[in-house]
Chain A
Amino acid sequence: MPYTTSLNMVIILNGVGIPARVLPGYIADRFIGVLNVLILCLIGNIILLWSWLAVDSIPAYYCWTVLYGLFGAAFQSLFPTTIAAYSSDITKTGTRLGMAFGVIGLAALVGGPISGALLDAADGDYTVPIAWASASTVVGTMLCTTARCVKFGWKVWVKC
């Protein structure tokens, strides 16, 4: 796939995000709550990231990009709301969001370079950075799920 065609991937990844950014918020408000939607999205993310390893044809790559675009955008649109969900005092929501954004910004800073360094270390083999991304998502999902259960109880059907 030449460079200009490969840009389609970036375009698709962002394009399918348009419905995926509006819909999860609606489902969260209407039915199961923002933290539950987040955890479902993250499980989808984990499955998709691991399955990236198995993608080896162009049609499969297009399908994978569409699916990841949906779940990745859902996560991106939900995460500010989920942080706000952990702040019970509304006057401090802004402060807590700001603090969280500062820390997450630093985390986002290492994302690209770590995957690039792993790619170089593996001599251009994408298996290593993809495995790292998937593993990191697993750890993050476990932490977020624990946080949700500590705050709102270990029952599955709690709207939160």
Chain B
Amino acid sequence: MDVERSARETNDDEGLEEKSERSMSHESPVPSPVPAQHEPLSKTKSRPSNTLARIASRVTTRSIRDPGPPPDGGLVAWTQIVCAWLAIMNSWGFVNSFGAFQPYYESVLPESASTISWIGSIQACLMFSLGMFSGRALDRGWFRPTVGIGIAIQILGIFALSGAKTYWQFLMTQGFCTGVGGGIFFVPIMGLCSTYFSTHRGMALGIVTSGNSVGGIVYPVVVRQLLGKVGFGWTVRVLGFINVASLLVVIAFMKPRLPPRKTGPLVELEALKDAPYCLHVLGMCFLMPPVYCVFYYVSPRSIAKEDFVLLFRTEKTKS
């Protein structure tokens, strides 16, 4: 506490900010009297005493004292699991439901099935790849802003999709926008969950990933029930409202637990010399495309099996 006190004495302007930091630390699930070794970090951060820095001290986790070992259960920890489950449902569930959109796009767009499946592929690729960067934001203490931006981009993408008419509009909204948004918020959320659990971590994360499957049910069911009745625009807007409602819960109740910590390097060249690791990742590169092949084409193929292949062919030539 000495460091904090001296910091306050040296700079009176920071009084307000210190107070806000204190009130935040009281909210933390395990209030710890231990003066954290991260104190100097908070001091250097709060030196420019302008509005921006004051806001930053509230949105980052710099003010959190190290709360000790993970609670591994309890109301707060399980709330995080519920929120993360919703977030995974809204991000990966939406990616996994692309199979529901594929046959519809094939029927309304003149583009080939291959060109159309780029929409879902780009979405999945961005979800995987952006996590590499956004996961580090959690470690650096920028949980809330990162997740907030991700959620905003994803919801923007879905509502823009509802007005899309041409292939490029579908690609930019569903492919890029929702992919970037989901990719930004899902990794920090998964990472946050694992900081709340130790021995039950496997089970907790298993429950969270089941949101993936539930999303893959919810979205196609909504599409199936509504597409014929209210048209594509309103169907997608309903999906958007589902996301708004559940992601608001996520942003309201998810709470970072740990102070910022040093992150590892983005790329570790040593890993490239590790033959089993490289072989395994290479193997995964062969295993992942077939999974998406099935997820995107399981629905179109079942249509084709019933000689309905003609239906889509004729609609395509008409349009």
Contacts and interface: CB of A to CB of B under 8 A. Distances in A.
A72 B294 contact: yes
Interface string A79-95: 10011001100011011
A143 B283 contact: yes
A129 B112 CA distance: 15
B286 A147 contact: no
A141 B283 contact: yes
B213 A17 contact: yes
Given A99-B271, A126-B304, A114 B289 contact: yes
Interface in B103-122: 103-104, 107, 112-118, 120-122
Interface residues of A, number: 88
B117 A75 contact: no
A62 B268 CA distance: 45
Interface string A86-119: 1100011011101111111111111111111101
Interface string B112-151: 1111111011101111110110011001000000000000
Nearest to B223: A7
A144 B284 contact: yes
A60 B313 CA distance: 25
A10 B97 contact: yes
A79 B287 CA distance: 10
B124 A98 contact: no
Contacts, number: 301
Interface stretch (B37-45, B69-77, B156-164, B272-280): B272-280
B291 A2 contact: no
A18 interface: yes
7 contacts: A3-B104, A58-B302, A72-B295, A92-B271, A102-B132, A104-B128, A113-B115
Interface of B: 93, 96-97, 99-100, 103-104, 107, 112-118, 120-122, 124-129, 131-132, 135-136, 139, 202-203, 206-207, 209-210, 212-217, 220-221, 223-224, 227-228, 263-268, 270-271, 274-277, 279-306, 308-309, 313
